């Protein structure tokens, strides 16, 4: 039996289904939660389905609020966890109460913590997996659910920019629009910007420095405070310094409230992970991070990045 047929069968058997995702839910988490709930509701109208989670205010205009349920409901349910690789990152640990559990995820495998799984690293978003499930099993979905799934695909793929975006990503997106996904509304909600954050971007683009192929910026805590930005938010800003011709690496060094430095390292084809590892951090080949005790160590990191660039060229 295919993995999708198995999931279909387990949903068919359950009366109550609860859906969980990760802490600090992003577009793919909330998209998967709401998209899967709307799929099950539209395909099996007699089942009780609950999508659980918090802190999704930003996405409420697009997909509505999430559900709140009692321990008893979870205990009587088939729990589906979406878009999570580590059990500790499941936001609501009450998933452990459920009768049985199923994971749908697109991250690299970390650990087994559910009875069954669909893990597919060839998908750019968990929402893409759910969209393929809908197509393969010929399921229904509401326009709201289709919008939720398209939201997850757009955010996790960076508008079809990141690998592994492929023909199937675009094909499934087209199918979701045919089922009522409101691309124009998603575009509008995602394009809305906060004036403070725009001015902070201006600060980054005006004050960054360059050295031997590296674009970087040191940002003091007082400057962050001025723009109302958290040092840990740099992962969503570092790429504003990216893909500049002649500068294969880019980095941000942001001072937190304790004086320690959040470091984000990025590149297109240079191994910055090896640099992060040297300073006790880690991540992906071209997107890594670490922490420093103070700004004093910044030149050391820059020098390691320059070394990595030279090694790649050599």
Binding site for its own copies (CB under 8 A): 159-161, 163, 165-171, 173-175, 177-178, 183-184, 187-188, 191-195, 198-199, 201-208, 210, 215, 241-247, 268
- Closest CB 73 distance from its own copies, rounded Å: 37
Nearer to its own copies, 104 or 181 (CB): 181
Cβ of residue 156: shortest distance to its own copies, in angstroms? Answer: 15
**Cα–Cα distance, 252 to 204 (Å, whole number):** 9
Sheet of strand 100-105, all strands in order from the earlier edge strand to the far edge: 48-51, 16-20, 78-82, 100-105, 116-119
Task: Output 70 or 163, the one with its CB closest to its own copies.
Answer: 163
For its own copies, the closer of residues 45 and 246 by Cβ is 246
Give min distance, CB of 112 to its own copies, in A.
32
Task: For residues 231 and 215, give the distance between their C-alpha atoms in angstroms, rounded to a whole number.
Answer: 18
Least Å distance, CB 290 to its own copies, is 25
Looking up tokens 């990025």, which residue turns up? 266
Q: In Å, what is the CA distance from 300 to each residue of 79, 169, 254, 292, 295?
A: 47, 41, 16, 10, 10
Tokens 């199918």 -> residue: 175
Question: Measured from the CB of residue 237, what is the shortest distance to its own copies in angstroms?
Answer: 12
Edge-to-edge strands of the sheet including 209-211? 209-211, 214-219, 249-255, 261-267, 287-292, 282-283
Looking at the Cβ atoms of 40 and 217, the one nearer to its own copies is 217
What torsion do the CA atoms of 97, 102, 103, 104 make, to the nearest 10 degrees? Answer: -140
Cβ proximity to its own copies, 38 vs 182, nearer residue? 182
């Amino acid at each position: 039996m295919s993995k999708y047929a198995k999931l279909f069968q387990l949903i068919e058997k359950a009366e109550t289904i609860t859906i969980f995702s990760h802490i600090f839910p992003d577009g793919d988490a909330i998209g998967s939660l709401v998209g899967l709930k709307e799929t099950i509701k539209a395909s099996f109208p007699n089942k009780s389905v609950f999508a659980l989670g918090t802190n999704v205010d930003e996405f409420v205009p697009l997909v509505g609020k999430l559900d709140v349920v009692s321990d008893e409901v979870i205990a009587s349910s088939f729990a589906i966890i979406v878009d999570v690789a580590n059990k500790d990152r499941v936001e609501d640990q009450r998933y452990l109460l459920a009768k049985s559990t199923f994971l749908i995820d697109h991250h690299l495998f970390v650990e087994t913590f559910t009875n069954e799984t669909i893990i597919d690293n060839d998908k750019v978003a968990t929402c893409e997996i759910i969209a393929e499930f809908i197509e393969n099993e010929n399921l229904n979905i509401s326009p709201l659910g289709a919008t939720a799934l398209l939201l997850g695909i757009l955010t996790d793929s960076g508008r079809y920019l990141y690998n592994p975006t492929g023909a199937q990503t675009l094909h499934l997106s087209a199918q979701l629009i045919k089922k009522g996904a409101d691309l124009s509304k998603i575009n509008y909600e995602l394009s809305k910007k906060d004036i403070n954050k725009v001015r902070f971007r201006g600060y980054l683009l005006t004050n960054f420095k360059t050295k031997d192929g590296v674009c970087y910026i040191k940002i003091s805590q007082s400057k962050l405070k001025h723009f109302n930005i958290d040092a840990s938010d740099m992962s969503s800003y570092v790429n504003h310094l990216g893909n500049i011709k002649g500068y294969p690496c880019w980095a941000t060094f942001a001072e937190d409230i304790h004086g320690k430095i959040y470091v984000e390292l990025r590149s297109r084809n240079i191994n910055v992970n090896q640099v992060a590892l040297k300073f006790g951090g880690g991540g992906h080949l071209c997107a890594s991070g670490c922490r420093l005790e103070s700004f004093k160590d910044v030149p050391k990191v820059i020098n390691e990045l320059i070394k990595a660039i030279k090694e790649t060229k050599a």
